[in-house]
């Protein structure tokens, strides 16, 4: 039976409740120590070490746990603003609180509300913004929709920090709505940016005005992450979709921030990061930093080639690398679709990428017209579907070997184990795995394949040499305007020896006479000065984005896969044990200890796996293995139902892992 047939929408009837609790549910990675330890929050206003409790006034407190939870007190009753993992219940008795009457949610992310279920079960009223209600009612719609998992291109909202199980909602909130709770008056304002439907709460009590702003910001001049801002936008008369929208929601975020400042709050409480006593300065610093970071990004962006007006507001500034015209293409090359084909003197063809069946047809036509005599091989630049969709048809049509870089091959051979943008789900047959720098002779050309972490981390480049020609095929990584790093989810790392800085050093070493992008007709090159300019810009970017986020390195802010499950999806049979590898990238420049466990869906009996811990060396990626094999979980799963068919279980990785130094 196909997995599609098991999607939640089709699974009405007797299996419904089981599916609600299992197939639709993803494992949640639970928090280790608090987020306070995860990020470098030096200078933060630390919570009271004993109680993790910060008292803002007689009736308003903040629990500083994995996230900051607002506690509004009225005698023995409390109203919470967000509730994080629920560990806030430890401090409630110290305030004399015996019951939680209401929980108000700023947004739907798991780290905000994953602890709310047990209160909801006991009758606590849950209130959420109207725009995000569907994510609380029916998260299965997200997890069971392939368009959110595979071939993700147009939109990166909502983010996979989606809840894994429905949370009962008692009230939806709209802008301007007021909630009275004891001495406090609470007003709702819309503050989109971090998510489309984020709201903030303006709490007037005891002569103070405290704004709980969720993840709108994370401390003075900082946001919790940059990848959440990935969104399509319009600028200068051009418009782009989500894939091209790096920091695309920054303008709405800035509007929301100024709306918060207009409330004249005395204190600002973000979900992550320190409580802010000088909101206006904190917001001004964040706005300035966002502007500076964005200008740095635009200055060497490849996107300026494709959408000349999108960043025209910066044109002519010294920050912007001038764009040189392209170069004529050597006679030995043909370009159609996203495919470059290298043609030898004897008529042999080496094909690079096959983005669609049209390419196969085109190649067949070239053979028929004797423009080429044979197709000798296929080499692949990267995994995006506009470069690979035609490969299965190509391989059925032409009998030739497929050459792929070893790192990229991991994705192409097992695509469903990954969660990456523009990823097709059909595995590719690979005949020759290539090591970084491996050369071979093909006809009169010397070919060398390189690992090339440019447009994506899983990307390759090919150098083809003949006589004075040194042609470097860089996939989608550059245009003559600079680097293609406009989709944060592609994992473009900053730092010397990583990502684009690594690629630029390789260009410097290889000194190509021509470079080729799969989407660009002309050839191009970069001068030594341009390479130096780009590298300096990236060095500066590492610093700037490092300041923008409260983490040990800028890459934590832009890489939403720094913690991920491998494989990303698995089929789990009722009663079976499954193993999840949690792969953690340590982006910091020092070793870090990581702890994680999986919080299991209720259909698995709830609870959690045992904690696993490891030390990850600086700059390295390492796995921790979690096994869901405890007897109690198997028993519970059997008790729920016994469907004859396997169920999909999705394991989102970027949930609530913490790492401690």
Q: Which residues bind Zn ion (CB under 5 A)?
A: 109, 215, 384, 476
Q: How far is the CB of 599 from Zn ion (least distance, A)?
A: 17
Q: How far is the CB of 297 from Zn ion (least distance, A)?
A: 18
Q: How far is the CB of 89 from Zn ion (least distance, A)?
A: 21
Cβ closest to Zn ion, residue 420 vs residue 534: 420
Tokens coding 330:
């050597």
Q: If you count them, how many residues does the chain have?
A: 661
- What value, to the nearest 5°, has the Cα angle with vertex 464 and ends 461 and 465? 140
Any idea what DSSP says for residue 274? Answer: -
Closest CA to 349 of 404, 398, 308, 277: 398
Cβ closest to Zn ion, residue 56 vs residue 424: 424
Cβ closest to Zn ion, residue 477 vs residue 628: 477
d(CA 354, CA 384): 11
Closest CA to 132 of 194, 69, 187: 194
Q: How far is the CB of 476 from Zn ion (least distance, A)?
A: 4
3-state secondary structure of 556: helix
Q: How far is the CB of 477 from Zn ion (least distance, A)?
A: 8
Q: How far is the CB of 505 from Zn ion (least distance, A)?
A: 21
Q: How far is the CB of 221 from Zn ion (least distance, A)?
A: 18
71: CB partners within 8 A, 6+ apart: 60, 61, 62, 63, 78, 79, 80, 81, 88, 91, 92, 95, 97
Q: How far is the CB of 489 from Zn ion (least distance, A)?
A: 12
Cβ closest to Zn ion, residue 190 vs residue 476: 476
Cβ closest to Zn ion, residue 127 vs residue 217: 217
Cβ closest to Zn ion, residue 515 vs residue 637: 515
Cβ closest to Zn ion, residue 133 vs residue 630: 133
Residue tagged 């909101």 (tokens): 279
Cβ closest to Zn ion, residue 423 vs residue 626: 423
Cβ closest to Zn ion, residue 249 vs residue 476: 476
Residue tagged 């999705």 (tokens): 650
Do residues 10 and 24 lie in contact, with contact meaning Cβ atoms separated by under 8 Å? Answer: no
Cβ closest to Zn ion, residue 11 vs residue 286: 286
Q: How far is the CB of 507 from Zn ion (least distance, A)?
A: 18
3-state SS of 387-440?
A: HHCCHHHHHHHCCCCEEEEHHHHHHHHCHHHCCCCCECCCCCCCCEEECCCEEE
Q: How far is the CB of 419 from Zn ion (least distance, A)?
A: 16
Q: What are phi and psi of 311, to 5 degrees?
A: -115, 25
3-state secondary structure of 292: helix
Neighbour count for residue 451 (Cβ, 10 Å): 20
547: CB partners within 8 A, 6+ apart: 221, 222, 289
Q: How far is the CB of 112 from Zn ion (least distance, A)?
A: 6
3-state secondary structure of 348: strand
d(CA 278, CA 563): 33
Cβ closest to Zn ion, residue 18 vs residue 142: 142
Cβ closest to Zn ion, residue 297 vs residue 604: 297
Tokens coding 78:
């409390």
Do residues 576 and 139 lie in contact, with contact meaning Cβ atoms separated by under 8 Å? Answer: no
Do residues 660 and 38 lie in contact, with contact meaning Cβ atoms separated by under 8 Å? Answer: yes
Residue tagged 């494989």 (tokens): 567
Cβ closest to Zn ion, residue 109 vs residue 514: 109
Q: CA-CA-CA-CA torsion for 123, 58, 60, 210, nearest 10 degrees?
A: 150
Cβ closest to Zn ion, residue 8 vs residue 458: 458
Cβ closest to Zn ion, residue 162 vs residue 343: 162
Instruction: Give the Å distances, CA to CA, from 94 to 61, 89, 97, 350.
Output: 12, 10, 7, 72
d(CA 22, CA 649): 7
Q: How far is the CB of 630 from Zn ion (least distance, A)?
A: 30
Q: How far is the CB of 108 from Zn ion (least distance, A)?
A: 8
d(CA 99, CA 89): 10
Tokens coding 157:
């909202």
Q: How far is the CB of 344 from Zn ion (least distance, A)?
A: 27
Do residues 341 and 525 lie in contact, with contact meaning Cβ atoms separated by under 8 Å? Answer: no
Round the CA-based radius of gyration of the chain to a whole number and report it.
26
Do residues 174 and 210 lie in contact, with contact meaning Cβ atoms separated by under 8 Å? Answer: no
Q: How far is the CB of 644 from Zn ion (least distance, A)?
A: 39
Do residues 216 and 260 lie in contact, with contact meaning Cβ atoms separated by under 8 Å? Answer: yes
Cβ closest to Zn ion, residue 353 vs residue 542: 353
Q: How far is the CB of 20 from Zn ion (least distance, A)?
A: 24
Distance of CA 66 to the CA centre of its chain: 20
């Amino acid at each position: 039976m196909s997995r599609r047939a098991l999607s939640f929408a089709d699974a009405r009837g007797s299996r419904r409740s089981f599916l609600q609790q299992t197939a639709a549910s993803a494992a949640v990675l639970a928090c280790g120590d608090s987020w306070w330890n995860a990020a470098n929050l030096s200078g933060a206003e630390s919570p009271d070490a004993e109680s993790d409790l910060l008292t803002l006034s007689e009736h308003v407190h903040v629990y500083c746990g994995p996230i900051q939870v607002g506690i509004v007190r009225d005698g023995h009753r409390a109203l919470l603003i967000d509730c994080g993992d629920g560990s806030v219940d430890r401090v409630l008795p110290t305030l004399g609180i015996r019951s939680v009457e209401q929980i108000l949610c700023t947004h739907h992310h798991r780290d905000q509300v994953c602890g709310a279920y047990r209160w909801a079960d006991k009758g606590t009223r849950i209130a959420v913004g109207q725009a995000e209600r569907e994510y609380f009612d029916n998260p299965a719609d997200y997890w069971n929709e392939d368009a959110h998992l595979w071939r993700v291109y147009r939109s990166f909202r909502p983010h996979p920090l989606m809840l894994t199980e429905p949370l009962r909602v008692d009230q939806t909130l709209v802008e301007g709505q007021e909630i009275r709770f004891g001495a406090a008056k609470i007003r709702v304002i819309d503050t989109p940016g971090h998510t489309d439907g984020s709201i903030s709460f303006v709490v007037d009590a005891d002569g103070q005005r405290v704004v709980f702003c969720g993840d709108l910001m994370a401390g003075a001049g900082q946001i919790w992450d940059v990848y959440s801002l990935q969104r399509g936008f319009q600028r200068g008369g051009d418009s782009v979709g989500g894939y091209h929208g790096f920091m695309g929601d920054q303008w709405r975020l800035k509007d929301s921030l100024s709306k918060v400042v207009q409330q004249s709050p005395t204190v600002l409480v973000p979900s992550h990061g320190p409580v802010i006593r000088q909101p206006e300065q904190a917001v001004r610093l964040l706005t300035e930093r966002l502007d500076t970071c964005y200008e740095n990004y635009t200055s060497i962006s490849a996107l300026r080639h494709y959408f000349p007006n999108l960043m025209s507001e910066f044109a002519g500034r010294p920050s912007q690398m001038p764009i040189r015209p392209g170069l004529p293409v050597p006679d030995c090359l043909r370009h159609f679709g996203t495919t470059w084909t290298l043609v030898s003197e004897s008529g042999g063809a080496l094909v690079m990428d096959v983005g669609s069946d049209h390419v196969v047809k085109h190649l067949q036509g070239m053979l028929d017209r004797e423009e080429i005599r044979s197709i000798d091989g296929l080499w692949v630049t990267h995994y995006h579907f506009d470069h690979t969709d035609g490969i299965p048809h190509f391989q059925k049509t032409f009998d030739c070997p497929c050459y792929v870089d070893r790192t990229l091959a991991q994705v192409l051979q097992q695509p469903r184990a990954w969660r990456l943008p523009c990823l097709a789900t059909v595995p590719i047959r690979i005949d020759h795995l290539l090591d970084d720098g491996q050369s071979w002779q093909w006809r009169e050309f010397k070919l060398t394949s390189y690992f090339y972490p440019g447009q994506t981390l899983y990307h390759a480049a090919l150098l083809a040499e003949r006589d004075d020609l040194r042609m470097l095929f860089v996939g989608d990584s550059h245009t003559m305007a600079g680097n293609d790093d406009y989709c944060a989810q592609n994992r473009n790392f900053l730092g010397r020896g990583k990502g684009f800085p690594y690629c630029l050093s390789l260009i410097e070493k290889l000194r190509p006479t021509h470079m080729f992008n799969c989407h660009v007709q002309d050839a191009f090159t970069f001068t030594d000065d341009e390479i130096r300019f780009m590298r300096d810009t990236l060095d500066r970017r590492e610093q700037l984005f490092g300041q923008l986020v409260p983490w040990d390195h800028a890459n934590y802010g832009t890489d939403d896969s720094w913690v991920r499950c491998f494989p990303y999806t698995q089929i789990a049979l009722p009663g079976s044990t499954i193993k999840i590898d949690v792969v953690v990238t340590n982006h910091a420049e020092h070793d870090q200890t990581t702890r994680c466990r999986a919080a299991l869906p209720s259909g698995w009996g709830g609870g959690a796996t045992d904690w696993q811990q490891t030390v990850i060396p600086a700059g390295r990626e390492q796995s921790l293995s979690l096994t869901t094999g405890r007897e109690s979980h198997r028993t519970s799963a059997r008790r729920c139902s016994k469907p004859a068919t396997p169920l999909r279980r999705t394991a989102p990785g970027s949930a609530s892992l913490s790492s401690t130094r």
